[in-house]
Amino acid sequence: MTELRVAEPRRYSKIYSLGASRGNHSVSNDEIAGPIDSSDEWIRQRTGVITRARASDDQTLASMAMEAGKEAIEKAGIKPEQIDLVIVSTISFPYATPSAATLIAAELGIPNAAAYDISAACAGYCYGIAQADSMIRSGLSEYALVIGAERLSDFIDPTDRTISFLLGDGAGAAIVGPSDTPGISETVWGSDGTKWDKVGMTGSILEFKDGGSWPTLVQEGRTVFRWAVWEMVKAAKEALDIAGITVNDLSALVTHQANMRIIDEFAKQLELPDSVVVARDIETTGNTSAASIPLAMHRILQEKQVSSGGFALQIGFGAGLAYAAQVVVLP
């Protein structure tokens, strides 16, 4: 009997490079504090945010994603036509269809790539890395462009005290490709839909169509904080165990940039040694949801806080509540 021909699998994949794009406007706490009846001091103490990057009128989600993607491609040393998979993680692309990924692929000169968007909010970039890793190792793809991109300023309420004052705009991109050695560990991922309504929107697009208010982002901060600090630390520890390393082997911890207090508590619960660099991009960029992890990793590499080749634990968690974690070799 004739057998079907299947793709030739590969053993390993890795992240080749990163690219970044942030909103052009640096918005201070003083500019945010008035409508929420707060102060620069309160915002710094509660969140660690000093400024947040927000897009100018001419910076669309797609344009920031393309800027980040272009940098990643150039740094990887490959040609756009070698990329056969484009994954964009976003919750703020203003079109339900077509996808941002197909537009970005075309604008970057990537022909005939499989291209699609995923919606996993703050976990979305790690979801994208997991999918790219699996597709490359299965032989279905050779090089993947994974982008986390958000223009969250389109979905904020200036008077909201739960999340809007944290949010920023930007895009982070990674090129993932084949490797002779392990570059991306098995992903630990999942969700807890019993908390579906703890981070999300104030209403649906259908409600807006019927005369309701424009939907904006909102969260139950205390519930999310407890879940992130206690449950997600368990996922992070599981990711380390599956990767076969300990915190002493890490060069960096790159969590979703949700809140500086969450990041600090994460580092404390993991009992990180002083040698591990903890990414804190939230301080001047804000919370950029799916873009936050690649932006934070890009920064610690660009500022030479860490070196290429070390291990980084990256973990995203947020609306859904969805989460994903993996250990990667720094590009």
- Residues designated catalytic: 122, 256, 287
H-type alpha helices, the chain: 29-33, 40-47, 61-76, 100-107, 124-138, 205-209, 221-226, 232-243, 260-270, 282-285, 292-302
Residues 125, 146 contacting (CB under 8 angstroms): yes
Indicate the burial class of 178 (C-beta count within 10 angstroms; 0-12, 13-18, 19 or more).
Answer: middle
Tokens of 31: 């500019």
> Residue 152 CA to chain centroid, in angstroms?
13
Under 8 Å between Cβ of 24 and 56: yes
What residues does 117 pair with on adjacent strands?
Answer: 88
Helix (H) or strand (E) holding 25: strand 25-28
Pairing between strand 85-89 and 217-219? Answer: unpaired
Q: How far apart are CA 102 and CA 110, in angstroms?
A: 9
Closest CA to 55 of 45, 68, 42, 43: 68
6-19 in b/e burial notation, b at 16+ Cβ within 10 A?
eeeebeebbbbbbb
Q: Collect all residues with Cβ–Cβ distance below 8 Å to 33 and sequence separation of at least 6.
A: 39, 40, 42, 43
Query: Would you tell me how many other CB atoms lie within 10 Å of the CB of residue 58?
Result: 7
